[in-house]
């Protein structure tokens, strides 16, 4: 389960959908189009199977689907925000430790 909720795309999708329901293209746009449509589709399907989001399909031309966090998905917002806060507070210390270890990604 930690692999699933720790996935960078799942975390980002939860935080984006915290503000409300979005269509696929709106969600991808909020992600800065940094995610391939195929990867976004796969991630959304896994999240739906896990009960983190619901997908509502509208019989229109072209077809339209909207994604919304479930109560289970909403319950992830607070823990993810706490991790984000921790990372922000400790970013300098983490980068300094990487630099001391000779990690080239420390910058």
45 domain-assigned: yes
Q: State how far the Cα of 20 lies from the Cα of 44, in Å rounded to an integer.
A: 15
In the predicted model, is pLDDT for residue 107 greater than 70? Answer: no
Q: In what order do the strands lie in the sheet with 22-23?
A: 22-23, 64-69, 53-58
40 domain-assigned: yes
- Please state whether the predicted TM-score (pTM) of the whole model is above 0.85: no
Calculate the CA dihedral of residues 30, 35, 37, 43 and round it to 10 degrees: -90
23 domain-assigned: yes
Residue 53 domain boundaries: 2-75
Chain segment 13-68, per-residue pLDDT in tens: 999 999 999 999 999 999 988 899 999 999 999 999 999 999 999 988 888 899 99
Q: Please give the pLDDT value at position 6.
A: 80
Q: Please give the pLDDT value at position 73.
A: 96
What is the number of domains present in the chain?
Answer: 1
Q: State how far the Cα of 77 lies from the Cα of 5, in Å rounded to an integer.
A: 11
Q: Please give the pLDDT value at position 104.
A: 65
Query: For position 32, which CATH number holds?
Result: 1.10.10.10
In the predicted model, is pLDDT for residue 89 greater than 80? Answer: yes
Check: CB of residue 43 under 8 Å from CB of residue 10. yes
In the predicted model, is pLDDT for residue 106 greater than 70? Answer: no
In the predicted model, is pLDDT for residue 8 greater than 90? Answer: no
Q: Is 51 left (phi over 0), alpha (psi -120 to 50) or beta?
A: left
In the predicted model, is pLDDT for residue 69 greater than 90? Answer: yes
């Amino acid at each position: 389960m930690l692999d699933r909720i720790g996935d960078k795309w799942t975390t980002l999708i939860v935080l984006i959908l915290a503000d409300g329901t979005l269509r696929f293209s709106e969600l991808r746009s909020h992600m800065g189009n940094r995610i391939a449509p195929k990867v976004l589709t796969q991630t959304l399907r896994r999240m739906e199977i896990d009960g983190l989001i619901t997908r509502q399909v509208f019989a229109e031309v072209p077809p339209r689907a909207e994604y919304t966090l479930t109560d289970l998905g909403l319950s992830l917002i607070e823990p993810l925000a706490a991790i984000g806060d921790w990372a922000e507070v400790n970013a300098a210390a983490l980068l300094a430790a990487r630099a001391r270890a000779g990690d080239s990604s420390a910058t």
